[in-house]
Chains A and B, each alone.
Chain A
Amino acid sequence: AQSVTQPDIHITVSEGASLELRCNYSYGATPYLFWYVQSPGQGLQLLLKYFSGDTLVQGIKGFEAEFKRSQSSFNLRKPSVHWSDAAEYFCAVGSSNTGKLIFGQGTTLQVKP
């Protein structure tokens, strides 16, 4: 069965420090993958997506993610975190058969001044 694991429930980084949020997926075929961000009480905003091609994907707000098939991972990175990046981040995998998205449990990012 498809699944997505975000091992870190909560992460705290200092402003200006680098960030990496982990995402591991389980899917039999070639997945398509997303990272979304959610501010408190708001909907989800798409940060970036991977469908095929270049395994390093650039997104909005300075985020990037790298698809590593051998590790079944799609980790999100940012070289320098800003206080406004504090939010909850969700990784999701899409089924090529049904189109349904399976979401991870989310990682809450706190940014220290």
Chain B
Amino acid sequence: DGGITQSPKYLFRKEGQNVTLSCEQNLNHDAMYWYRQDPGQGLRLIYYSQIVNDFQKGDIAEGYSVSREKKESFPLTVTSAQKNPTAFYLCASSSGLLRETQYFGPGTRLLVL
């Protein structure tokens, strides 16, 4: 089945630690996205990538980093600079950037110890 997988489902971060969230898609989509979801705030865009080896900051990129070395993969690192990382993180992909439907993965919940 084609789809988007995210791992792990739950992730715990200690203070000062960097953690990486995985996102893989087998839909042959060019564009991929990372969103952060907080209660009552909807989804906010962290980073997006239109093609391999290229990515752009979204609305709340501070404290996060990404890479896009393969078409299928778009990992998100939550760095120690992100002071309030507790949230639900959603990865999405679409066949192109403009006027295309975004499809979402199951999400990763990040908690701080």
Contact check, B107 vs A41: say whether CB atoms are below 8 A apart. yes
- Chain B's nearest CB lies how many Å from the CB of A42? 6
Residue of B nearest to A6 (CB): B42
Q: Is A99 an interface residue (CB 8 A)?
A: yes
A-B contact count (CB 8 A): 59
Q: Is A56 an interface residue (CB 8 A)?
A: no
Q: Is B63 an interface residue (CB 8 A)?
A: no
- Chain B's nearest CB lies how many Å from the CB of A113? 26
A36–B97 alpha-carbon span in the complex (Å): 18
Question: Number of contact residues on A: which range applies?
Answer: 20 to 34
Partner of B90, one of A4, A43, A98: A43
**CB neighbours of A11 from chain B (8 A):** none
Q: A1-52: which residues lie under 8 A (CB-CB) from chain B?
A: 4, 9, 32, 34, 36, 41-46, 49, 51
- 25 intermolecular pairs with C-beta atoms under 8 Å apart: A32-B99, A34-B101, A41-B107, A42-B106, A43-B105, A44-B43, A44-B90, A45-B104, A46-B101, A49-B101, A90-B42, A90-B43, A94-B99, A96-B99, A99-B31, A99-B48, A99-B94, A99-B99, A99-B100, A100-B58, A101-B43, A103-B42, A103-B43, A105-B42, A106-B40
Q: Nearest 4 A-B pairs (CB), nearest first?
A: A99-B97, A103-B42, A43-B104, A44-B104
Which residues of B are in contact with A by a Cβ distance under 8 Å? 4, 6, 31, 40-45, 48, 50, 58, 90, 92, 94, 96-107, 109
